């Protein structure tokens, strides 16, 4: 009977180790997923910054539009 008890104890340890291994693997998967998510967020932010027009280019476009409108409107007023 003592051997059966020792065997059950060994099986319990093996089971505990497998459980711990599964938990560790799950934590690693969660960590990797979080790192990928963070990297994607950083890339998305970088893409937004690159895709936004520069303020000076936007201002130059508005100025050019104003000049064109003025050129169209002024000759009719004279």
Say what the pTM is.
Answer: 0.47
Q: What is the pLDDT of residues 14-48, one digit of tens each?
A: 677 888 899 999 999 999 999 999 999 988 888 77
Q: Which two tokens stand for residue 78?
A: 């004279």
**Measured distance CA(38)–CA(23) in Å, rounded:** 22
- Which range marks the domain in which residue 37 is found? 2-77
SS3 52: coil
**Distance in Å from the first CA to the final CA of the chain:** 115
| Count of domains for the chain | 1
Q: Say yes or no to pLDDT of 76 above 80.
A: no
Mean pLDDT of 64-76: 86
Joined together, the tokens standing for residue 52 give 């936004």
pLDDT at 72 over 90: no
What local confidence, expressed as pLDDT, does residue 66 receive?
92
Confidence category of residue 8, pLDDT binned at 50, 70, 90 = low
DSSP, res 54: P
């Amino acid at each position: 009977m003592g051997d059966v008890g020792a065997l059950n104890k060994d099986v319990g340890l093996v089971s505990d180790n497998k459980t711990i291994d599964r938990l560790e693997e799950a934590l690693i998967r969660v960590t990797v997923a979080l790192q990928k998510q963070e990297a994607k967020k950083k890339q998305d932010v970088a893409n937004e910054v690159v895709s936004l027009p520069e303020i000076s280019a936007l201002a130059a476009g508005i100025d050019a539009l104003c000049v064109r409108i003025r050129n169209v409107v002024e000759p009719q007023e004279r």
